[in-house]
C-alpha cells in the first residue's frame, strides 16, 4: 500500500493515529502525531483512515507540515515554478552520495489530473516501473533504486495524459525519453532544495505547460544567449557533438540528442524560449558537421513533448530542401527524425 503526504493513518501495533508528513523511501514514511512530533514508521505498520468526519489532528502552527511539498495545498510558493511534469531523483544518503540508493519521483506540477506511465529501457526493450494516476500538484514516490541497479534506470520513458473531472482545456499528451548519467549524480550542487518534494533532488523537466515559446513571439528571438552558448562550447570543445562510426566514410552516421540535459549542465531558471534556442543551435551545428564530413544520415533525437522542437527542426530541414523521415520507432518511439545527407 502507498501513502501520500496528508493521508491520515492509524497505527497497527499501538494506539493512536497521525498524518503522513514525509515520504522517507519506498517502505518508510514520517508520521506527525497529535503532540506535533514526526516519527518514522514502516508502511506495514500503518492503515489508512478514510473516514473524513473524524476530527483533524492538531499540529503546532510553528511547525508547518512539510512546506516544500506542493501536494498539501495550492500555495503561492508553488506558482513560482513553471507548471508541468517533472521527474525527480533524490539520494537517501545525502552525507555519502557515492554509496547512496536513490528515490525516483513522478511530479505533476499542474492544475490537471494525469494518468502516467514510467518505464526504463533495458537491452530487451522497455520495462514498466509504475503506472497510475496523480492528482493536481501531487508528487509521488514511484521507486527506490538500489545503487547497484542504477544503470538499469539510465534511460526513462515517461508517458502522460491530462484530464480533469470538470471542463478543461486540451493539453497534448506527453511521451518523452530522458537520460540519467551516473557521473552527473556525483557533481557538486546537483541535488537542490525544491518546492516539489521534502528533500534535495535533481529535478528534470518532462513537459512545461502554458509558456510561450520563441517562435510564437518573434521579439523573443532577440534574446542574447551568445555568452551562455559560448561558455557551453568552451566546456565541451574537447568533445564532438556526435560520434560518427567511421570518419570520412560514405556510410558514416551521426546522432545528436537535443534533450536540454544532454546539452547543458545547468539550465535552471531558463525559459522554454531560451532552451529551444540552445537546442536549435546545437541542431544546426550537428547538421553542418554531418554535411561537411559527408555523412550518410543524421539522427536527431528531439523527443515528443508538446511537439514544438520537432516542428522547428523539420521546418528548418524543409527550408533547406533536405529529405527526412521518422526515426526508428523501435529505438526512439516518436521522438526522432532521420535526415538524409547523401
216 or 2, greater pLDDT: 2
Residues 80-106: what's their mean pLDDT?
Answer: 87
Q: At which of 66, 100, 121 does a domain end? A: 66
- Could you say which of 177, 208, 239 is where a domain stops? 208
| Side-chain half-sphere CA neighbours of 133 within 13 A | 6
Are 294 and 308 in a shared domain? yes
**pLDDT tens by residue, 109-164:** 999 999 999 999 888 889 999 999 999 999 999 999 998 898 899 889 999 999 99
Is residue 149 domain-resident?
Answer: yes
Residue keyed to cell 547538421: 287
Please provide the DSSP assignment of 34-76 as one string.
TTS-EEEEEGGGEEE---TTSPPPP--TTS-S-TT-TTS---T
The answer to whether residues 308 and 238 belong to one domain is yes
> What is the average per-residue pLDDT within 182-206?
85
- The tally of domains found in the chain comes to 3
Residue 104 structural domain: 78-208
Whole-angstrom CA distances from 71 to 4, 31, 91, 142, 314 are: 9, 16, 21, 15, 38
Q: CA 17, CA 31: separation in Å to the nearest integer?
A: 9
Q: For residue 121, is it within any domain? A: yes
- Are 23 and 134 members of one domain? no
Residues 336 and 247 in one domain: yes
Highest mean pLDDT among 26-30, 125-129, 212-216, 241-245: 125-129
* β-strand partners of 144: 103
pLDDT tier, 251 (very low <50, low <70, confident <90, very high otherwise):
low
Instruction: Give pLDDT tens digits for 200-232.
Output: 899 888 887 754 333 334 343 434 444 445 545
277-287 pLDDT, tens digit each: 888 988 988 88
- Share above pLDDT 90 across residues of the chain, in percent, rounded to a whole number: 22
Q: Residue 198 — pLDDT band, cuts 50, 70, 90?
A: confident
109 and 13, same domain (yes or no): no
Q: Give the separation between CA 7 and CA 197, rounded to whole angstroms.
A: 15
- Tell me whether residue 56 is in a domain: yes
**Vertex 109: Cα angle to 145 and 95 (nearest 5):** 40
Q: What pLDDT, on the 0 to 100 scale, is given for residue 226?
A: 47
SS3 322: coil
Residue that finishes a domain, picked among 208, 223, 246 = 208
CATH code for the domain of 166 = 2.60.40.1600
Angle at which helices 226-236 and 272-292 cross, to 10°: 50
pLDDT for 276:
85
How many residues in the chain? 342
Residue 72 falls inside a structural domain:
no
Distance CA 89, CA 145 (A): 10
Q: Which of 332, 279, 342 is nearest to 301 (CA)?
A: 332
Question: Among positive and negative, which fits the CA dihedral 260, 110, 196, 133?
Answer: negative
Provide the CATH number for the domain around residue 25: 2.30.30.30
Please list, in sequence order, all residues whose beta carbon lies within 8 angstroms of the beta carbon of residue 307, skipping any fewer than 6 positions away. 172
Angle, vertex CA 95, rays to CA 201 and CA 137, nearest 5? 20
In a domain, 111, yes or no: yes
Cβ pair 282, 263 in contact under 8 A:
yes
- Nearest Cα to 23, choosing from 223, 202, 246, 196? 196
Q: Taking all residues of the chain, what is their mean pLDDT, rounded to a whole number?
A: 77
284: CATH: 3.30.1370.110
Amino acid at each position: 500500500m502507498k501513502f501520500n503526504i496528508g493521508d491520515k493513518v492509524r497505527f497497527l501495533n499501538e494506539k493512536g493515529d497521525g498524518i503522513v508528513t514525509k515520504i522517507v523511501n519506498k517502505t518508510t514514511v514520517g508520521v506527525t502525531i497529535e503532540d506535533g512530533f514526526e516519527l518514522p514508521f514502516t508502511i506495514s505498520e500503518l492503515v489508512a483512515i478514510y473516514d473524513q468526519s473524524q476530527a483533524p489532528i492538531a499540529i503546532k502552527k510553528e511547525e508547518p507540515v512539510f512546506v516544500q511539498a506542493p501536494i498539501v495545498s495550492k500555495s503561492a510558493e508553488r506558482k513560482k515554478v513553471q507548471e508541468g511534469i517533472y521527474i525527480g531523483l533524490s539520494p537517501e544518503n545525502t552525507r555519502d552520495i557515492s554509496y547512496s540508493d536513490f528515490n525516483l519521483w513522478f511530479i505533476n506540477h499542474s492544475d490537471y489530473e494525469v494518468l502516467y506511465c514510467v518505464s526504463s529501457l533495458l537491452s530487451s526493450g522497455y520495462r514498466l516501473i509504475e503506472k497510475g494516476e496523480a492528482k493536481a500538484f501531487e508528487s509521488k514516490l514511484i521507486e527506490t533504486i538500489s545503487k547497484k541497479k542504477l544503470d538499469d534506470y539510465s534511460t526513462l520513458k515517461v508517458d502522460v495524459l491530462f484530464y480533469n473531472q470538470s471542463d478543461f482545456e486540451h493539453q497534448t499528451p506527453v511521451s518523452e525519453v530522458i537520460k540519467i548519467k551516473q557521473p552527473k549524480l556525483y557533481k557538486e550542487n546537483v541535488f537542490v532544495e525544491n518546492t516539489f518534494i521534502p528533500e534535495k533532488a535533481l529535478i528534470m523537466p518532462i513537459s512545461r505547460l502554458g509558456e510561450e515559446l520563441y517562435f510564437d513571439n518573434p521579439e523573443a528571438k532577440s534574446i542574447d544567449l551568445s555568452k551562455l552558448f559560448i561558455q557551453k562550447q568552451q566546456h565541451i570543445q574537447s568533445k564532438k557533438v556526435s560520434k560518427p562510426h567511421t570518419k570520412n566514410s560514405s556510410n558514416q552516421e551521426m546522432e545528436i540528442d537535443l534533450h536540454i540535459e544532454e546539452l547543458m549542465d545547468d539550465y535552471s531558471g531558463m525559459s522554454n524560449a531560451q532552451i529551444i534556442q540552445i537546442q536549435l543551435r546545437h541542431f544546426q551545428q550537428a547538421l553542418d558537421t554531418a554535411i561537411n564530413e559527408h555523412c550518410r544520415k543524421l539522427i536527431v533525437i528531439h523527443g515528443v513533448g508538446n511537439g514544438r522542437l520537432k516542428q522547428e527542426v523539420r521546418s528548418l530541414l524543409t527550408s533547406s530542401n533536405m529529405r527526412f523521415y521518422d526515426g526508428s520507432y523501435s529505438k526512439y518511439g516518436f521522438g526522432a527524425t532521420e535526415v538524409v545527407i547523401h
